[in-house]
C-alpha cells in the first residue's frame, strides 16, 4: 500500500504546471495563454527520450528530484518576469522539461514496482493530475485575488518543490553492486588501458538507448503509436478551449471556469476505477480493446459538444468528458507496458513521447471540437480493428511455432536412428574383422 501512495504522490505533480497559465491570465491576452499552455505540453514529451535515458543511467529517484527543482525554479523565476517571452521560456521550456523528468521517471518506476496489480497502480498514479486540476482552479483565483500574479507564482513554485519529496520516496528496485578492492583496482586498470575504446562503445550504446528505432519492427507497437498520435491530435484542445467555448455560449466566467473543476473531479475517481476494472481477469488479457473503447467514447463526447446551447448540458458534457479522458489516460501507458514489457518500456515511452510532441503544436490554432472528436473517434476505431488483426496474427504465429517445434521433435529421433544404425553396422563390422584376425593368427 505504501508503494501505491508513493506512486500517487509522484503522479500528482504532473498537472501542477497548468496552474501558472490561469494565474497569469490577468495580464496576458488569451492567445498568449493558449500559446504558453501548448509550449508546456510540447516540451513535456519532447524531452521524453532524455528523461528515459537519465532514468536508465541514474534511476528514478535523482531524476524526479532534479525535475522537481526545475519546476520550482521555473515558477520562481517566472515571478520576476517583465515580458511574455520571458514567461514562455521559464514556464514553457524549463517547466515543461522538468515535468517531463517527473512523468517518465514515475511511469518507469511503476513498471518496475508492480506486475500483477500494475493497471491499478497506473490508475492511482495518474489520478494525481485530476486531483490538482480540480483543486487548483478555485485555489488559483484565491491566490490571484490576495497575492497578485507574482506572489501566486512564488507560492506555486514552493508547491512544485514537493516533487522532490515525492522523488525521495522512490526507492531503487535493485541495490547497487559493490566491488571488492581487488576488483576495483582491476577495473581502474582496464579503464586506463582501454579508455578510448570503451568511450566509443559507451557512446554507441548510449545513442541506442536514447533512441531505439528497433521498436518500429514490432507490429503491436506501430499500431499503438498510430492510434496514440491520433488521440493526441485532439486530446488537449478541448481542455484549453472549454472555458472560452462556454463563455461564447453566454455562460458567466466563474461558471465557465468551474467546468474544468467538474471534469477534474470526475476524472479523479474514474482513473483508479478504470485501473481496477482493467486489472480484472476478464479485461486485462484484452486491455487493448478496452483502450480502444475509451478513445471511441472520448471522441463521441467531443463530437456532441458543439451542439450544446446551455450551461446544464455543458455540465453533462464535462462529466462525460471527465469519464472518457480519465479512462484513456488510465490505460494509455498501461497498454504500452502490456505490449513492450517492463524491460523495454523505459526506452519505448521515451520514443512515444517525442513523437507525440508534434501534434500538440497544432492544437493552439483554433478550438475545433468536431475535428478533435472525429480524429479521436477514428483513432479508436483504428485501434479496435487493428488490434483484432494483431491478435489474430499473433495466434497464427504461435500456432506456426508450435507446428514447427512438433515437426522438429519428430525429425530429431528419426535422424538419431538414421545416424545410429550405420554406426552400429560399422561397429559390428569392426568386431567381425577383429575376430577373424584373431582366428587366423597362429598360436
CB 122 within 8 A of CB 66: no
From first CA to last CA, the distance across the chain in angstroms is 91
If one counts every other C-beta atom within 10 angstroms of the C-beta of residue 204, the result is: 10
Q: C-alpha angle 71/77/80, rounded to 5°?
A: 150
Extents of the domains making up the chain: 1-172, 212-404
Instruction: State the pLDDT at residue 196.
Output: 52
Give the DSSP letter string of 220-239.
Answer: HHHHHHHHHHHHHHHHSHHH
CATH 1.20.1250.20 is the classification of domain 212-404: yes
CATH fold for domain 1-172:
Growth Hormone; Chain: A; (1.20.1250)
User: Residue 185: CA atoms inside 13 Å, Cβ hemisphere, count?
Assistant: 2
Give the DSSP letter string of 328-349.
Answer: HHHHHHHHHHHHHHHHHHHHHH
* H helices present in 79-213, as ranges: 84-87, 95-113, 118-126, 128-160, 162-168, 181-193, 195-210
All three cell numbers of 90:
521559464
φ, ψ (nearest 5 deg) of residue 30: -65, -35
Mind listing the pLDDT tens digit of every residue in the chain (443 residues)? 455 444 444 444 433 433 333 334 433 444 444 444 545 555 555 566 777 778 878 888 899 899 889 989 988 998 888 888 888 788 878 887 888 788 888 888 888 888 778 888 888 878 877 777 677 767 877 888 888 888 888 998 888 888 888 888 888 876 544 444 444 444 444 555 555 555 455 545 555 555 667 778 888 888 998 988 888 888 878 887 888 888 888 888 878 878 888 888 898 899 999 989 988 888 888 899 999 999 999 999 999 888 888 899 999 999 999 999 999 988 988 888 888 877 777 777 777 766 655 554 444 434 578 888 888 999 999 999 999 998 888 888 888 888 888 888 877 665 555 555 555 455 555 445 555 555 555 54
Closest C-alpha among 169, 136, 125, 131 to residue 332:
125
How does DSSP classify residue 50? H
Closest C-alpha among 362, 260, 376 to residue 327:
376
All three cell numbers of 348:
519505448
If one counts every other C-beta atom within 10 angstroms of the C-beta of residue 393, the result is: 12
Q: What is the residue whose three cell numbers read 494483431?
A: 390
CA–CA dist 108, 347 (Å, integer): 9
Closest C-alpha among 285, 280, 385, 270 to residue 330:
270
The continuous run of DSSP H or E covering 270 comes out as: helix 253-278
Instruction: State the pLDDT at residue 102.
Output: 84
Q: C-alpha angle 385/391/392, rounded to 5°?
A: 90
All three cell numbers of 87:
514567461
Radius of gyration of the chain (CA): 29
Instruction: State the pLDDT at residue 406.
Output: 81
The continuous run of DSSP H or E covering 360 comes out as: helix 311-360
Q: CA quadruple 52, 54, 56, 62: dihedral positive or negative?
A: negative
All three cell numbers of 183:
576488483
Instruction: State the pLDDT at residue 418.
Output: 54
Q: Is the pTM of this model over 0.85?
A: no
> Residues with Cβ < 8 Å from 7, sequence gap 6 or more?
106, 109, 110, 113, 121, 124, 125
Q: C-alpha angle 81/82/84, rounded to 5°?
A: 85
CB 112 within 8 A of CB 173: yes
CA–CA dist 351, 338 (Å, integer): 16
Q: What is the residue whose three cell numbers read 488521440?
A: 231
CA–CA dist 315, 263 (Å, integer): 9
If one counts every other C-beta atom within 10 angstroms of the C-beta of residue 282, the result is: 7
Amino acid at each position: 500500500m505504501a508503494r501505491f501512495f508513493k506512486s500517487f504522490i509522484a503522479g500528482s505533480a504532473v498537472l501542477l504546471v497548468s496552474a501558472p497559465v490561469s494565474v497569469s491570465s490577468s495580464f496576458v491576452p488569451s492567445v498568449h495563454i493558449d500559446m504558453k499552455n501548448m509550449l508546456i505540453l510540447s516540451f513535456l514529451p519532447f524531452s521524453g527520450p532524455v528523461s528515459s535515458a537519465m532514468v536508465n543511467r541514474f534511476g528514478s529517484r535523482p531524476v524526479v528530484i532534479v525535475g522537481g527543482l526545475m519546476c520550482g525554479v521555473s515558477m520562481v523565476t517566472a515571478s520576476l518576469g517583465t515580458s511574455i517571452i520571458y514567461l514562455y521560456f521559464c514556464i514553457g521550456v524549463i517547466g515543461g522539461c522538468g515535468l517531463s523528468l517527473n512523468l517518465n521517471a514515475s511511469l518507469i518506476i511503476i513498471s518496475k514496482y508492480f506486475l500483477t496489480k500494475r493497471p491499478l497502480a497506473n490508475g492511482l498514479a495518474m489520478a494525481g493530475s485530476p486531483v490538482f486540476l480540480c483543486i487548483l482552479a478555485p485555489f488559483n483565483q484565491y491566490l490571484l485575488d490576495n497575492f497578485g500574479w507574482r506572489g501566486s507564482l512564488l507560492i506555486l513554485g514552493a508547491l512544485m518543490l514537493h516533487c522532490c519529496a515525492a522523488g525521495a520516496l522512490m526507492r531503487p528496485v535493485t541495490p547497487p553492486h559493490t566491488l571488492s578492492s581487488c576488483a576495483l583496482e582491476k577495473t581502474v586498470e582496464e579503464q586506463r588501458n582501454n579508455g578510448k575504446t570503451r568511450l566509443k562503445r559507451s557512446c554507441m550504446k548510449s545513442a541506442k538507448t536514447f533512441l531505439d528505432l528497433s521498436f518500429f519492427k514490432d507490429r503491436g507497437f506501430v499500431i499503438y503509436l498510430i492510434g496514440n498520435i491520433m488521440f493526441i491530435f485532439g486530446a488537449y484542445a478541448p481542455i484549453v478551449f472549454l472555458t472560452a467555448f462556454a463563455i461564447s455560449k453566454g455562460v458567466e466566467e466563474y461558471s465557465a471556469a468551474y467546468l474544468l473543476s467538474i471534469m477534474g473531479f470526475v476524472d479523479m475517481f474514474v482513473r483508479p476505477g478504470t485501473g481496477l476494472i482493467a486489472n480484472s481477469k476478464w479485461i486485462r488479457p484484452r486491455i487493448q480493446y478496452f483502450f480502444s473503447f475509451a478513445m471511441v467514447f472520448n471522441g463521441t463526447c467531443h463530437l456532441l459538444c458543439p451542439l450544446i446551447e446551455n450551461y446544464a448540458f455543458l455540465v453533462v458534457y464535462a462529466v462525460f468528458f471527465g469519464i472518457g479522458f480519465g479512462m484513456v489516460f488510465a490505460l494509455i501507458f498501461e497498454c504500452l507496458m502490456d505490449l513492450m514489457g517492463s524491460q523495454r518500456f523505459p526506452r519505448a515511452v521515451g520514443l512515444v513521447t517525442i513523437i507525440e510532441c508534434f501534434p500538440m503544436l497544432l492544437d493552439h490554432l483554433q478550438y475545433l471540437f468536431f475535428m478533435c472528436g472525429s480524429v479521436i473517434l477514428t483513432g479508436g476505431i483504428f485501434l479496435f480493428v487493428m488490434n483484432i488483426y494483431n491478435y489474430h496474427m499473433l495466434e497464427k504465429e504461435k500456432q506456426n511455432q508450435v507446428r514447427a517445434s512438433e515437426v522438429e521433435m519428430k525429425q530429431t529421433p528419426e535422424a538419431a536412428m538414421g545416424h545410429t544404425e550405420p554406426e552400429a553396422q560399422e561397429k559390428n563390422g569392426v568386431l567381425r574383422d577383429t575376430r577373424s584376425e584373431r582366428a587366423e593368427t597362429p598360436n
